[in-house]
Structure 1
Amino acid sequence: MNQFWGLDADPTAQGRIKGARPVAVLDIGSNSVRLVVYERLARSLTLLYNEKSSCALGRGLAQTGRLAYENIDRALTAIQRFALVAQLMKAGEVYILATSAVRDASNSKAFVDAVEATMNAKVEVLSGAAEAHFAALGVVAGIPDFTGIVGDLGGGSLELSSIVDGVDAVGETHELGVIRMQDDAGRSVARAREIARERLARSELLSCKPGGQFCAIGGTWRSMAKMHQVLRNYPLHMVQHYVTKAGDLAKLCDEIVDAATAGKAYPGSDHTSSSRRDLVPFGAAVLGEVLRAGKFDSVLFSAQGVREGYLYGLLPPEERALDPLLQGAEEISILRSRSPAHAEDLIRFTAGFLDAIQVKETAAEERLRKVACYLSDIGWRGHPDYRGEQSVDMVAYGALAGVDHPGRAFLAEALAVRYMGLKHKSISHELMELAGPAANMKARLLGATFRVAYPMSAAMPGVLQRTHFSLEGSRLRLHLPEDLAFLAGEHLAGRLDQLAGVAGIKSSEVVAK
């Protein structure tokens, strides 16, 4: 008899993708052990569960060559719990990835055997080259158009690789992980900076093509990204796709290293978790030297790395070619909208309006318009007075992949107008500035088009496809079929007037014939 109540029952809720089989990744790193369970193996990954335990397996490894037994015990205790979580969540597959500490330790076999027995799955000990490869794939999975150098900073090592046109090459591993740096430098941050400079001097990647964009991955660097956002009053506090000037970040690195060297609190330390606070100065020492060695122009942060890259590598080529943002938005539409089919009608309806007023879209603008259509009805379950704010929050602060921060601001403005009208004040000026004036205007135009569509269709398919727009002189016309002439009331006429005003058109008319 199973010892856990209800373990054999199907735990899947109606708010989950039908037929989705969860997949789990256990990531055994030098600093922490983390279990992540995803809803399913797909191009756009959705988190079901995420937990880490700071076990510091790499502590002292550079000096002894062995994993400390107390750290092994701590890791195995956490992994016992993770085995239960994977079982409770009915993960179909569990992939176990071990990195620097496990591959370098002389006594790792007994630890690996114990992990495999606990999890009932094989441990894959990644080489440095494999770790660099999967880190790069993780970036490609979340930021498909990235080109530049990727750096994944862990507790034991730093992996570097280059990405061009979605393909990675020239992987490097350097003994520059934050725990290793603490040990090698005798906890001297100033000495750690010197060591980083010496070891990075051997990097071919950083010296061959200076400039461009550097993509930073890893928990310590993510902490630094969040600190940087707080210090500059940035309106979004999410790491994925956060971009800043390399010079600004290098300056922060120097300030952190100098403060730590002087025994003072470094800038932003009060916004860092206690488990990362002592590691950040060593991560700053490494990042500052990476940016100097590569002479980078900008830094982009990725919250996706080895785990996501490993799963991305398991997908067939046709699924890897899918757009993660569009897939993710479609899934949200399936789970949250009143009718997913209506989104397809809305895509055609908004495209027809732009054609009528002769507004051309770039491929990137068309992509965001489609995403906005998929997300345009996600707030209907909320209280009428707060549907707009809730929808804006889900878009601006949600877990969508494949969208940069200006794109989030665009989507948020389009949904704010859709739910709250053109005079809404729910989005901060700082957030709107991320998209820029031109994109904000197009977002308002799109939101105003939604406000014309929904009173006609009631969020159901079949109506919008029977209507069309035309521009005759300075008058915008919305054409209805004769059997839908009763829709041409004051409410629809007022919405159409608003849309015409946003588009800079003098007048409008609803025509039924």
Structure 2
Amino acid sequence: MKRFKLICDDFGVPETSVRVIATEATRDAINVDEFVNAVYGSTGWKVEILGQEDETKVGIYGVVSSFNTVRGLYLDVAGGSTQLSWVISSNGEVKQSSKPVSLPYGAGTLLRRMRTDDNRALFYEIKEAYKDAIEKIDIPQEMIDDAKREGGFELWTRGGGLRGMGHLLLYQSEGYPIQTIINGYACTYEEFSSLSDYLFLKQKIPGSSKDHKIFKVSERRALQLPAVGLFMSAVFEAIPQIRAVHFSEGGVREGSLYSLLPKEIRAQDPLLIASRPYAPLLTEKYLYLLRTSIPKDDIPEIVNERIAPALCNLAFVHASYPKELQPTAALHVATRGIIAGCHGLSHRARALIGIALCNRWGGNIPESEEKYCQELEQVVLREGDKAEALRVVWWTKYIGTIMYVICGVHPGGNIRDNVFDFHVSKRSEVETSLKELFIDDATATKVKEETTRKNRGYEVVVRISKDDLKTSASVRSRIITLQKKVRKLSRGSVERVKIGVQFYEE
């Protein structure tokens, strides 16, 4: 604590801005008074000991701080106890159970009991305790109805025991592209429950050895994992169906700070805030032009409301990089690049912005990076409804490719009006008499309009000036690339977009 006080002095933190919070370990210590007095005597700081209910509430704020939105059941597995609640966060408001339940089944406590108690009896004890607990937290009916419709609740977790499980899952997931960031990682119920059952029944970590250390899992934490496996196996038999498990690094420290923020700040999207410092002066014009190229009400919300604005913010971050490096650096922007350290991004969001930005720079990457890009796509495809996830990936690539053209016409972050625009219409709405000029693969020649398919199809016409310098040969080559890429994207997909061009004389 003395060293921390010196660090605060180095950073110029005023005494009034320091808040010392103690949780369960201090609250239950036999020498708690002696410890608190020692801290005050050496630093002059009073220690605020949180009650169990307050600790749970602040812990929930910590989880909420780690994501853009949170909705589902909440579970914290600490060393001595566990906490169960529910949470809904939206537009800066955080709702949670007024009756959270704390039970003495922390990872350390269970490990000690497993050495002396009958594990089968302990399993059923936990199961019965959580059957009662799930009733006590009083889950809102709207959440229950949503879970029935969507195939189960989402489980939002925190605590060292569950983070250890997350790191073990990552360790076992060969080829998973985001290994060093546990916050925002999600897995399916099947993945998590299979690992829990294995740890409980086998009492050992699968595939581990002294020569293969699990990243961010200490020896002490590794010893506790079978206890966490027993606990989660019992819990899953007691609580309603779970469809996905989310992992968070946010805790009491982050939660106590997040709870102090105004509602307006809590409502802000972490992805947009993290990317905003890099935005060009006229980013809103870029976003407006980009949105003229997409159907207003028929693309996934995450693409239109989150990825597209962030893409425009980051569109010129890699402008000074060598041409060969730009798409590769862009692909890693949220995993190793300039916004990788942003707190509050899910792995899904990190993957999508990387894919979009890579395509904004043309998407020409070496084979090893192609593999990495495919692995990022799999991060998206493994979450939620497969068909919808495929649409999310498709439109993410599409908007990145469109930005490749937009930024080719306006490469300096300064966008002029009336140089070119887009017109979108459904295939069924396109009149057969409409005659556009389509740029073919090799030459600017007219090609016949394709017959309308039964799939979800759109006609996107790029309307550009025939003589403007900004739409010279290099820009037209980008449009050719756009046509090729979108045609390739549309092949075998339910999303079908045809890119056409209309030249006009000023």
TM-score by length of 2: 0.74
Partner of 1:131: 55
2:327 aligned with 1:344: no
Partner of 1:244: 187
Partner of 2:442: none
For residues 77 and 162 of structure 2, the distance between their equivalents in structure 1, rounded to whole angstroms, comes to 7
For residues 259 and 113 of structure 2, the distance between their equivalents in structure 1, rounded to whole angstroms, comes to 34
Q: Percent identity?
A: 21
Contact kept in structure 1, 2:200 and 2:233, CA below 8 Å: no
Query: Deviation of residue 294 (structure 1)?
Result: 0.7
Which amino acid counterpart does residue 474 of structure 2 have in structure 1? H
* Unaligned stretches of 5+ residues in structure 1: 1-78
Sort the Cα spacing of 1:255 and 1:342 in 2 relative to 1 into closer, same or farther, 3 A. Answer: same
* Unaligned stretches of 5+ residues in structure 2: 145-151, 381-388, 425-433, 438-460, 487-496
Residue deviations 1:158-192, cap 9 Å, x none?
A: 12111135411121111122223334444779376
Which amino acid counterpart does residue 403 of structure 2 have in structure 1? F
Contact kept in structure 2, 1:388 and 1:416, CA below 8 Å: yes
* More off after superposition, 183-192 vs 376-385: 183-192
Residue deviations 1:440-488, cap 9 Å, x none?
A: 3212221222211223323323436764234665553333598xx2212
Contact kept in structure 2, 1:256 and 1:267, CA below 8 Å: no
Q: How does 1:471-482 map to 2 (within 5 A)?
A: 473-475=435-437, 476-479=461-464
Which amino acid counterpart does residue 455 of structure 1 have in structure 2? G
* More off after superposition, 454-463 vs 218-227: 454-463
Query: Deviation of residue 434 (structure 1)?
Result: 3.1
Residue deviations 1:379-406, cap 9 Å, x none?
A: 3454443232222212245234554333
Contact kept in structure 1, 2:76 and 2:84, CA below 8 Å: yes
Q: Which residue of 486, 496, 508 maps to 2:501?
A: 508
Contact kept in structure 2, 1:325 and 1:401, CA below 8 Å: no
* More off after superposition, 195-204 vs 130-139: 195-204
Sort the Cα spacing of 1:474 and 1:176 in 2 relative to 1 into closer, same or farther, 3 A. Answer: farther
Partner of 1:100: 24
Partner of 1:17: none
Sort the Cα spacing of 1:184 and 1:190 in 2 relative to 1 into closer, same or farther, 3 A. Answer: closer
Contact kept in structure 2, 1:141 and 1:324, CA below 8 Å: no
Partner of 1:65: none
For residues 282 and 307 of structure 1, the distance between their equivalents in structure 2, rounded to whole angstroms, comes to 26
Q: How does 1:56-205 map to 2 (within 5 A)?
A: 79-91=1-13, 93-164=17-88, 166-169=94-97, 170-186=99-115, 190=119, 193=123, 196-197=126-127, 199-205=129-135
For residues 273 and 511 of structure 1, the distance between their equivalents in structure 2, rounded to whole angstroms, comes to 66
Residue deviations 1:319-354, cap 9 Å, x none?
A: 222222222221xxx1xx3x5324323211201222
The structure whose RCO (Cα within 8 Å, separation 6+) is larger is: 2
For residues 227 and 182 of structure 1, the distance between their equivalents in structure 2, rounded to whole angstroms, comes to 18
Q: Which residue of 294, 306, 309 maps to 2:255?
A: 309
**What secondary structure does 1:354 align onto?**
coil
Q: How does 1:247-286 map to 2 (within 5 A)?
A: 247-260=190-203, 264-268=204-208, 270-271=213-214, 272-286=217-231
2:478 aligned with 1:495: yes
Contact kept in structure 2, 1:128 and 1:172, CA below 8 Å: no
**What secondary structure does 2:412 align onto?**
coil
Query: Deviation of residue 256 (structure 1)?
Result: 1.4
Contact kept in structure 1, 2:408 and 2:478, CA below 8 Å: no
Residue deviations 1:399-457, cap 9 Å, x none?
A: 34554333332221111112243676524323223334322321222122221122332
Sort the Cα spacing of 1:205 and 1:83 in 2 relative to 1 into closer, same or farther, 3 A. Answer: farther
Sort the Cα spacing of 1:460 and 1:135 in 2 relative to 1 into closer, same or farther, 3 A. Answer: same
Q: Which residue of 258, 271, 284 maps to 1:325?
A: 271
**What secondary structure does 2:238 align onto?**
helix
For residues 131 and 380 of structure 1, the distance between their equivalents in structure 2, rounded to whole angstroms, comes to 46
Sort the Cα spacing of 1:372 and 1:407 in 2 relative to 1 into closer, same or farther, 3 A. Answer: same
